[in-house]
Amino acid sequence: MDLLAQLLALPPGDAIFDLDGTLIRGDIGDSVFRRLLGRLPPSVRAVLGTQNPWARYEEIVRADFCAAGDLAGKGLAGSTISEVEALVDDAFATGDVVENTPVVQLARALSSHHRVWILTGSAEVLGRAVGRRLGISRVVGLRLRMEGDRFTDELLPPCTCGEGKVKAARLWIAEHPVFAIGDSPTDLPVLRIATVARGLGRIADQEFPGFS
């Protein structure tokens, strides 16, 4: 039985899709963060310095992927939702990120039977902007407190990276989703609580079958 048939045979439930590297090729958090380098909030500039902030950011990505995601989220401070959506549009227009068609097709096919979710370590506002392009309206991601119509650099719990994805899933999605798919070691915790799971990218054919 192929994956789609297997999942459609299960009782209706919740299907969780990672965003960066899974539903899309590339990383929308990184792409938007790069576009914001010239106007980062003071709290982020203090971490990255002024000499080569992008190089410092890449060092943090390699050392602690989840911490880098938090930093990229904080980089949205001072922006409005519409301004962030425009940056997402530009990332797609320039080819920084593109739809990962086979995974998106699976999500669309499942939506007739299961509730399909994006669960991302990137900022939730980015996930919602991408989700509108892909036809996925249920999104959970890194949340930032707002003041008026602008984001602040205050992150609201829980974290949505690594073990935090499990906490977020149990809080807003399901104790045990019927399906989960991701591409990173930080996705493994949420894949482990799913009835069926698939890995791609760096975790293809490790704990779970690879997606193809």
Residue in the structure block whose two tokens are 């106007």: 39
Domain ranges of the chain: 3-203
CA separation for the pair 196, 181 (Å, rounded): 9
pTM of the model: 0.96
Element of type H or E holding 45: helix 42-48
Burial tier of 139 (Cβ tally within 10 Å: 0-12, 13-18, 19+)? buried
Cα–Cα nearest to 197, from 21, 64, 211: 211
In this prediction, residue 212 carries a pLDDT of 78
Handedness of CA 43, 48, 52, 54 (dihedral sign): negative
Top CATH class, 3-203 = alpha beta
Length of the chain: 212
In this prediction, residue 138 carries a pLDDT of 98
In this prediction, residue 71 carries a pLDDT of 97
How confident is the model over 9-28, as pLDDT tens digits?
A: 999 999 999 999 999 999 99
How confident is the model over 98-151, as pLDDT tens digits?
A: 999 999 999 999 999 999 999 999 999 999 999 999 999 999 999 999 999 999
